[in-house]
Amino acid sequence: MTTTLAGRERGRWAIVLFTAPFFVLFAAVVVAPLGYALWLSLFREQSSGLGFGGAQSVFSGLENYLSTLADPAFRDGFWVIAAYAALYIPLMLGGALALALLLDSGAAQLRRFFQLALFMPHVVPGVIAGLIWLYLYLPGISPIVAALADGGIHWDFLGDRVLSSVVNVAVWEWTGYNMVIYFAALQAIPREVLEAATMDGAGPVRVALRIKVPLIRGAVITTLLFTIIGSLQLFNEPVVMDSVSDGIVSTWTPNMYAYAEAFGKNDYGQAAAASIMLAALAAVLSYFVTRWGNKK
């Protein structure tokens, strides 16, 4: 009995030892910044006297949250995110799933090469990817714009069509990454299940849609969850294009709004309030997507 209790005690300490680094790191890089942002969001800078005495932080309660919600620039950013997600999520996840099914099929050749080639764009940092595509979008220097113009097509990548241009950059960056996740999930499907379906007369398309896709539903739901959160955090690509695009302003997305408030207006309280509300929305969407995924 004593030996059993001692073994359990050692097991508990082993669990604490191996999980403690994660919780320490999580507290340092997630909990602490969120707590500090929440604290900042409850204060605002107020000039003292006639403005010659500097400024001091005063408690404002929910004033920053109310003024942020009342700002049309902040609200309009969510319409941009909604339109972006409506285009980006089906294209990216659908393309990643189609590529994974193709690579998993028996007809695929050079699997390793195409896995690496499709994954490589994800290795490129978002800012660098934005700069690469900015070169390909700029009239006068872009070979794509010149080729389209020679064919009689005048596509305004950085004007009215800038949303599709940002979507294109994100699809290029993330399709290969999610394809690798789907392909790994497909490889985990027991081959006996697929062989049984084939022996029952199911063709390749039917096996893919009726057998493989349902069996990797967990991976699809997980990538959908992370993609929704990533869409809410859209920042790098439009910031790179902001200086040359007529269709992007400094508050184009909620993340850009928070950045402009903090580093453009030095209003850290309102920037923190915008960030907290964005984080709360991401948490709510994550909850509902996870709950829907569990039901499925």
Q: What is the 3-state secondary structure (H, E, C) of the chain?
A: CHHHHHHHHHHHHHHHHHHHHHHHHHHHHHHHHHHHHHHHCCEEEEECCCCCCCEEEEECCCHHHHHHHHCHHHHHHHHHHHHHHHHHHHHHHHHHHHHHHHHHCCCCCCHHHHHHHHHHHHHCCHHHHHHHHHHHHCCCCCHHHHHHHHCCCCCCCCCCCHHHHHHHHHHHHHHHHHHHHHHHHHHCCCHHHHHHHHHCCCCHHHHHHHHHHHHCHHHHHHHHHHHHHHHHCCCHHHHHHHCCCCCCCCCCCHHHHHHHHHHCCCCHHHHHHHHHHHHHHHHHHHHHHHHHHHHC
Across 156-177, average pLDDT = 90
Across 125-148, average pLDDT = 87
Comparison of pLDDT for 173 and 207, the residue scoring more: 173
pLDDT interval class at 2 (50, 70, 90): low
pLDDT value of position 245:
83
Q: Is the pLDDT of residue 151 over 60?
A: yes
Taking all residues of the chain, what is their mean pLDDT, rounded to a whole number? 86
Taking Cα atoms as reference points, which of 238, 228, 241 lies closest to residue 278? 228
User: Length of the chain in residues, anyone?
Assistant: 296
How far apart (Å, rounded) are the C-alpha atoms in residues 133 and 20? 42
pLDDT value of position 143:
87
Q: Is the pLDDT of residue 45 over 80?
A: no
pLDDT value of position 260:
92
pLDDT value of position 109:
66
Contact 254, 232 (CB under 8 A): yes
Alpha carbons within 13 A on the beta-carbon side of 176: 17
Share of the chain above pLDDT 70, in %: 92
Domain ranges of the chain: 71-295
The position carrying tokens 């602490």 is 32
Comparison of pLDDT for 97 and 52, the residue scoring more: 97
Reported as a single tens digit per residue, the pLDDT across 262-277 is 988 888 999 999 999 9
Reported as a single tens digit per residue, the pLDDT across 13-42 is 878 888 888 899 989 988 898 899 999 898
Q: Is the pLDDT of residue 255 over 90?
A: yes
Q: CA torsion sign, 169 to 85 to 65 to 242? A: positive
pLDDT interval class at 192 (50, 70, 90): confident
How far apart (Å, rounded) are the C-alpha atoms in residues 272 and 264? 14
Contact 154, 148 (CB under 8 A): yes
Across 104-129, average pLDDT = 80
Taking Cα atoms as reference points, which of 165, 128, 132, 140 lies closest to residue 247? 165
Q: Which residues contact 253 (CB under 8 A, 6 or more apart)?
A: 77, 80, 81, 234, 235, 238
Domain 71-295: CATH class, spelled out = mainly alpha
Cα angle, residue 122 at apex, residues 216 and 222 outer, rounded to 5°: 25
The position carrying tokens 């113009």 is 149
The position carrying tokens 């099929």 is 105
Comparison of pLDDT for 111 and 220, the residue scoring more: 220
How far apart (Å, rounded) are the C-alpha atoms in residues 163 and 76? 14
pLDDT interval class at 147 (50, 70, 90): confident
Q: Is the pLDDT of residue 211 over 80?
A: yes
Read off the pTM.
0.86
Reported as a single tens digit per residue, the pLDDT across 212-250 is 888 899 899 999 999 999 999 999 889 988 888 888 888
pLDDT interval class at 55 (50, 70, 90): low
